[in-house]
Amino acid sequence: MSPFPLRTSREFTMADLAFVVTVLAAFALVALVAKGVTKL
């Protein structure tokens, strides 16, 4: 038995994708800030 209903598999996939994109964006932002601080 799957813990997720089959009809909502796409919604979970989109949520996971959005989560990954958000994490990558946050990581990129931190990296840019770190580079800026290093230059200062």
Instruction: Give Cα separations from 3 to 6, 8, 15, 18 (angstroms).
Output: 9, 11, 16, 20
pLDDT of res. 39: 81
pLDDT of res. 6: 59
Is residue 4 within 8 Å of 12, Cβ to Cβ? yes
pLDDT of res. 1: 52
Instruction: Give Cα separations from 33 to 21, 22, 24 (angstroms).
Output: 18, 16, 14
pLDDT tens digits for range 1-40: 556 555 566 666 888 889 999 999 999 999 999 999 888 7
Distance CA 9, CA 27 (A): 27
Distance CA 37, CA 5 (A): 47
